[in-house]
């Protein structure tokens, strides 16, 4: 498995069983009239973490399943949870106050403006919801599949109203995602079914564990707007090579490699498993990005792709159909 995400003992408990975290009701952004009521006071979290490059060889659960374990747990199989049939991304720059020393914001937005509809994301469309036989490749009887539409980036919110904690915990990230749903007018389960909220925390200000254990994670929160799929996305260049800087491109050209590598990883997994671990995973709970993470050389290695908005470094994604059904990173 590649990045089956860093799982500390608490994270494992969250994955296993609906732990409810209490979050204080937060102030609603004054910038939008529709955000007129506090989004939630309690949210249930299930998270799935992408470990740093240095943790890639930790193959002992529940810490990390790495690329060296890619064959373990094969193939991907469907759970009872949803998929995203028409993925839509909303980015929140939470408390940046205009500070973006490496230009992450523009790069990230260019990536998401162009990644939809590409061949890189096309392998994800093999994964379906509620197949009659949810094993391996078999989506017989399925009527809905992961989508690959163009124009997945639907909005960006620069939130300077709600203060960012010094080290926002998962409950704080969830609360900001819930506020984002209200801000963007997505206040029902139907409007959030295929929606991803990427919560960008500021340079020098991230959830504890970033850069030492993990690079990013995605999860979902039960809110008054329905189940909300979110990604905790720290200021990736702060982690340097631990989270992908210069992984493909040298010098200044590779400063932001990790932004698209990590961002693409979380995007693809949120499509196929928006409510982890209830979507598509293997038997060790690795998701489609995990099984192909941090590959340096050979088949499935991280490389540049050229899309309509530029050239970006991305990892490969797991396909059950590859290699005549044996599976592989494509």
Establish if 126 belongs to a structural domain. Answer: yes
pLDDT digits (tens, 9 = 90+) for 256-309: 999 999 999 999 999 999 999 899 998 888 899 988 999 898 889 999 999 999
Mean pLDDT of 135-145: 83
Mean pLDDT over each residue of the chain, to the nearest integer: 83
In this predicted structure, which of 33-47, 168-182, 257-271 has the lowest mean pLDDT? 33-47
Establish if 90 belongs to a structural domain. Answer: yes
In this predicted structure, which of 123-137, 223-237, 252-266 has the lowest mean pLDDT? 123-137
Best mean pLDDT range from 46-55, 134-143, 237-246: 237-246
For residue 251, what pLDDT is reported?
98
For residue 324, what pLDDT is reported?
87
pLDDT at residue 48 is higher than 50: yes
Establish if 4 belongs to a structural domain. Answer: no
pLDDT digits (tens, 9 = 90+) for 95-132: 999 999 999 999 999 999 999 999 999 999 999 997 77
**Mode of pairing for the β-strands spanning 195-200 and 226-233:** parallel
Residue 307's DSSP bridge partners are 310
In this predicted structure, which of 46-55, 164-173, 175-184 has the lowest mean pLDDT? 46-55
For residue 224, what pLDDT is reported?
95
Total number of domains in the chain: 1
For residue 36, what pLDDT is reported?
36
Establish if 2 belongs to a structural domain. Answer: no
Cα–Cα dist 133/321, whole Å: 16
Give the rounded percent of residues in the chain with a pLDDT score beyond 70: 81
In this predicted structure, which of 91-95, 249-253, 280-284 has the lowest mean pLDDT? 280-284
pLDDT at residue 33 is higher than 80: no
- What domain range is 43 assigned to? 9-329
Establish if 141 belongs to a structural domain. Answer: yes
Residues in contact with 320: Cβ distance below 8 Å, sequence separation at least 6, in sequence order? 75, 76, 126, 136, 137, 327
Mean pLDDT of 236-263: 98
Establish if 301 belongs to a structural domain. Answer: yes
Establish if 3 belongs to a structural domain. Answer: no
SS3 5: coil
């Amino acid at each position: 498995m590649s990045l089956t995400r860093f799982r500390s003992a608490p994270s494992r408990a969250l994955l296993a069983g609906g732990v409810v975290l209490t979050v204080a009701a937060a102030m609603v952004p004054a910038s939008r009239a529709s955000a007129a009521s506090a989004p939630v006071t309690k949210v249930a979290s299930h998270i799935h973490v992408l470990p740093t490059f240095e943790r890639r060889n930790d193959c002992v659960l529940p810490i990390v399943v790495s690329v060296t374990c890619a064959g373990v747990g094969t193939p991907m199989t469907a759970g009872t949870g949803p998929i995203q049939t028409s993925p839509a991304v909303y980015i929140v720059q939470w408390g940046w106050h205009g500070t973006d020393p490496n230009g992450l914001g523009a790069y990230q937005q260019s990536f998401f403006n162009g990644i939809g509809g590409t061949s890189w994301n096309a392998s994800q469309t093999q994964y379906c919801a509620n197949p009659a036989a949810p094993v391996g490749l078999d989506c017989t009887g399925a009527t809905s599949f992961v989508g690959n539409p163009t124009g997945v980036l639907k909005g960006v919110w620069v939130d300077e109203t709600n203060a960012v904690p010094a080290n926002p915990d998962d409950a704080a990230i969830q609360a900001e995602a819930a506020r984002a749903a209200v801000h963007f007018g997505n206040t029902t389960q139907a409007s959030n079914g295929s929606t991803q909220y990427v919560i960008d925390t500021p340079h020098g200000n991230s959830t504890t564990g970033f850069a030492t254990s993990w690079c990013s994670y995605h999860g979902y929160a039960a809110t008054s707007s329905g189940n909300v799929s979110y990604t905790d996305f720290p200021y990736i260049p702060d982690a340097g090579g631990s989270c992908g800087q210069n992984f493909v491109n040298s010098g200044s050209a590779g400063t932001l490699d990790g932004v698209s590598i990590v961002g693409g990883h979380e995007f693809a997994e949120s499509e196929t498993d928006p409510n982890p671990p209830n979507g598509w995973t293997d038997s060790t709970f690795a998701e489609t990005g995990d099984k192909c993470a941090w590959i340096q050389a050979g088949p499935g290695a991280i490389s540049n792709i050229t899309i309509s908005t530029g050239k970006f470094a991305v990892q490969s994604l797991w396909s059950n159909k590859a290699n005549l059904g044996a599976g592989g990173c494509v």
